[in-house]
Structures are given as structure tokens and as C-alpha cells.
Amino acid sequence: MTDTVVVTRKDGIAEIILSRPHRLNAINDELLVDFTNALKTLNADDEIGVIILRGAGKAFCAGDDLKESHTQNMSETEIRQYLEDIQGITRLLMHSEKVVIGAVHGWAAGGGFEWLLNCDFAILAENTRCFFPEVGLGIFVTGGISSILPNLVGLPKARELILLGEKIDAQTALKLGIAWKVVAQDALLDEACALAGRLMAMPHKARGKAKLALNKAPFLPLHEAMALETTVTTEGFMDPETAARAAAAIAG
């Protein structure tokens, strides 16, 4: 547990709670460091298979904390390093073998919306609202969103969300394929835990390798995607757990 991030573990499932509720879990330097360290620790833990990511208080994450922003006083080198630290979160979320479930409520703005899109499954409470304010502030999105979002919703809608900063609600996010499921807020954590339990019942190696492949293949040329599929499937066939499950299925 840190001041800005709370981590719990139980039965192979970890929970990361962004914990700056007085600022709607807006991102400051401390939260960025704490979140990075939490992900690095969990990604290195072989006992953990699934991570649930959520926010404390009234929101998931309201994006950058503009009251604590000091980028105006940074050099170009410092700004690039700051942005690289932010991009590092996306790599830790998307390029690990831990399946990440976003349990999202309230505002998911800017970096918070990016982190939602970096999750493997996003379960949204009915009161969720998402938008990208970046272009209106004179900057641009990070978190791979310029690639992820057009692939997910199509280029025209991605332009609307990024260039115009259009706000969307949970049901719209569901229709666009951004959300996996929309539930009542009081059912949000239960839904996330139920999904985590289903995922933990899957073969450990296959689950992790499949997550990685699904996060990489859509952004690769076809021949590279097929090569990745061959590698992941070969590893699956060679896993002793696969043989055991096949034998159990044959036995009925």
C-alpha cells in the first residue's frame, strides 16, 4: 500500500486501486511512480494471473492533475522523459501476461480513458463518462491511443473522440466496443471478481500468451500476426497442462 495506490492479492487475483479520491484519482508524479511500481511488482509475480484496476471514491481517473502539472517549466528532454514514463504504464498493462480488468465508474478522462482502453476487459458502471480533453488543451493523447482507438471504433469515430473531445457515456462505450459490459455501480466489483475467477480457471500459460498475442497481432502485418499465432499455439501444445486438459476432456 502507498499513498496513491493500494494493492491487494488473493487467490491469484490482484487488485490495484488508484487512491487519490479527493482529486478524482487525477494523475500526479506520485501516482505515476506508485502505479508503475505496482504493475512491475505484480507482473513479476508468477502467482498472479489477473489484475483488477479500479479507482477509489467517485471516479476511476480524471486524467492529469492540472493543479500539480509542471510541464510548462520542463525542458524538451524532461518532457520526453515524463511522457515516456506515462507510455511505460501502457506497456506494463498491455505487454504483460496478466489479464487486466478495468472496473470503471464515474469519470475516465484523458489518461484515465487511456488506461481504460489499455485494459483487456473494461466493465463500466452505468454512471461512467469518458472523454479525451488533450487536443483542446493543445496536446495529444498517449497510451497508444492513436493506434488502439481507430482499430477499435474506426477512424471517423476516433477523430470525433480525439479531435473534438466528445464525451461518451457507458452505453455508448458499449456500443462502440470500448466496454465489455455495463452494470449497475453497486454490482461493478462483483462483476469484475466473477470475470477474474473465470479467467483464473483457464490454463495459466495459455491465458497469458493469448492475452499478449491479442494485444500485439492486430497491430502487425498479416504475416507477422500469423507467425505470432504459430509461436503461441506451439507453446500451448508443449505445455504439460494442455495434455492434462485434453486427457480430461477425452475421459469425459
pLDDT digit string (tens) for 129-183?
999 999 898 888 999 999 999 999 999 999 999 999 999 999 999 999 999 999 9
Using DSSP, state whether 156 is helix, strand or coil. helix
* Residue with grid cell 492434462, as numbered in its chain: 244
What are residue 187's phi and psi, to 5 degrees?
-105, 0
pLDDT digits (tens, 9 = 90+) for 20-64: 999 999 999 999 999 999 999 999 999 999 999 999 999 999 999
Instruction: Report the chain's mean pLDDT, rounded to a whole number.
Output: 93
Does residue 243 carry a pLDDT above 90? Answer: no
What band does 2 get if pLDDT is binned at 50, 70 and 90?
low
Task: For residue 79, give the amino acid letter.
Answer: I
Does residue 244 carry a pLDDT above 70? Answer: yes
Do the Cβ atoms of 152 and 106 come closer than 8 Å?
Answer: no
Helix/strand/coil percent split, the chain, to 5? 55, 15, 25
**Using CA atoms, how far apart are residues 81 and 247, in angstroms rounded to an integer?**
51
Q: What's the whole-model pTM score?
A: 0.91
Q: What is the CATH number of domain 5-200?
A: 3.90.226.10
**Using CA atoms, how far apart are residues 171 and 124, in angstroms rounded to an integer?**
9
**Using CA atoms, how far apart are residues 233 and 210, in angstroms rounded to an integer?**
9
* Residue with grid cell 482499430, as numbered in its chain: 151
Does residue 241 carry a pLDDT above 90? Answer: no
